[in-house]
Chain A
């Protein structure tokens, strides 16, 4: 079955540090891949997505590349800010399917 595995948190970084949050997936077909972010007390917001192999999604300085050969979609940012503190979820949806599968989330705390 489909599944998403994220690196366990919490992750604590100093402002301007480099961020990587690992995500690998298992899917039977060719899924679309997503990163969602959840700020404290709020719902999920789409951060970026990629719908086919080698696509790179990017938004607000965050990037992730769809790597079919390693079944990965790692999230990166070159210089984090305090305002990036949140929980980040990797997710997939199979082609033709109707539901997103989420990882368990990675909590990021950025300290000044």
Chain B
């Protein structure tokens, strides 16, 4: 068990460019989550997958953001036409099962800096 893996860990991009982050969850976990964390704040929920189905999206997920989990394993989060306000750490997490008391395990995050 290698935990939740995210890459790249750091990305610096120019405003207006597209970026994509990848997340590999813990292998048997059917639930996958994306969160965003800005400096000095707690993580904020973006979206959630159960297997390959995207079941919930936050209002924070504007139409420039798209997330996929095509085979119910790894997931990608793409941000199109990046803006400086997108600068944040993007955290992926995974969990097993439907019980809300189940532990949600987080990756180390992908830092995005938009210049």
Chain A interfacial positions (CB closer than 8 Å to B): 4, 31-32, 36, 42-46, 49, 51, 89, 91, 93-105
Contacts and interface: CB of A to CB of B under 8 A. Distances in A.
A31 B91 CA distance: 22
Given A51-B101, A98-B55, A99-B56, A91 B42 contact: yes
B45 A99 contact: yes
Contact of A43 (B40, B44, B56, B91): B91
Given A43-B106, A44-B106, A98-B48, A105 B101 contact: no
Nearest to B89: A43
Interface string B90-115: 01010000001101111111000000
A42 B106 CA distance: 10
Given A98-B56, A99-B33, A105 B42 contact: yes
Contact of B41 (A42, A91, A97, A104): A104
A91 B35 CA distance: 13
Q: State the 3 A-B residue pairs at the shortest beta-carbon distance, nearest first.
A: A102-B42, A99-B45, A51-B101
Interface residues of B, number: 26
A97 B107 contact: no
B72 interface: no
A49 B101 contact: yes
Contacts of A4: 42
Contact of B100 (A42, A43, A97): A97
Contacts of B56: 98-99
B100 A93 contact: yes
Contacts of A89: 42-43
29 contacts: A4-B42, A32-B100, A32-B101, A36-B106, A42-B109, A43-B4, A43-B6, A43-B106, A43-B107, A44-B43, A44-B91, A49-B101, A93-B100, A95-B100, A96-B100, A97-B100, A98-B33, A98-B48, A98-B55, A99-B45, A99-B48, A99-B58, A100-B35, A100-B45, A102-B43, A102-B44, A104-B41, A105-B41, A105-B42
